[in-house]
């Protein structure tokens, strides 16, 4: 398949990503930029963006970028672990996410995601491990050296 653009991926987003409002800005096999506009529905009781929102964004951008990259090899991507540290609250504006790939192995990819506020301060960081597995419908895997 041709590599889809960020706009094409956005148009295809369903379910939870649509519920919390994920917007991809750019997406390659080694770097993703995305954002979520803060609204009341994304907050925890004290008025801060809920920690689960950061974890959700990280999960999605790392999974999507990996899934797109391995699709033509008959493989799929699934979140294996998501480890998020919260450094500084965000209360309004935009949650900016920047994911960079640390590792591309045969069976796991590892990504770092940095979250920043509108003043570009680091507010949270996530380390995502993505499992890469054969797709049930993927046909025989390509030969590997």
Are 116 and 96 contacting, i.e. CB atoms less than 8 angstroms apart?
yes
How many residues of this chain bind a copy of itself (CB under 8 A)? 55
Site track for a copy of itself across 24-53, x = CB under 8 A: ----------------xxxxxxx-x-xxxx
For residue 11, state whether it binds a copy of itself (rule: CB under 8 A): no
Whether 59 sits among the annotated catalytic residues: the reply is yes
Separation CA 9–CA 25 (nearest Å): 10
**Euclidean distance between the first and final Cα of the chain, in Å?**
23
* Residue closer to a copy of itself, measured from CB, 3 or 102: 102
Backbone angles phi, psi at 18, to 5 degrees: -75, -35
What backbone phi and psi angles, to 5 degrees, belong to 30?
A: -135, -5
Q: Are 38 and 20 in contact (CB under 8 A)?
A: no
**Per CB under 8 A, which region of 23-31, 90-98, 103-111, 137-145 contacts a copy of itself?**
103-111
Pairing relationship of beta strands 94-104 and 108-116 according to DSSP bridges: antiparallel
Of the pair 3, 12, the CB lying nearest a copy of itself is at: 12
The residues that touch a copy of itself, with contacts defined as CB under 8 A, are 12-20, 40-46, 48, 50-53, 55-57, 59-60, 63-64, 67, 76, 78-89, 102-103, 105, 107-108, 110, 112, 122, 125, 127, 129, 131, 133
Task: Give the residue numbers marked as catalytic.
Answer: 59
């Amino acid at each position: 398949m041709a590599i889809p653009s960020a706009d094409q991926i956005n148009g295809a987003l369903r379910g939870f990503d649509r519920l919390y409002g994920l917007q991809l800005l750019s997406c390659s096999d080694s770097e993703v930029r995305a954002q979520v506009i803060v609204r009341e529905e994304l907050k925890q009781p004290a008025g801060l963006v809920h920690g689960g929102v950061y974890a959700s964004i990280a999960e999605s951008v790392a999974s999507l970028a990996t899934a797109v990259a391995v699709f033509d090899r008959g493989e799929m991507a699934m979140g294996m672990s998501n480890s998020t540290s919260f450094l500084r609250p965000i209360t309004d504006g935009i949650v900016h996410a920047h994911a960079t790939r640390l590792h591309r192995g045969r069976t796991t990819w590892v990504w770092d995601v940095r979250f920043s506020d509108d003043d570009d301060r680091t507010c949270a960081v996530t380390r995502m491990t993505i499992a890469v597995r054969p797709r049930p419908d993927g046909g025989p895997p390509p030969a590997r050296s």
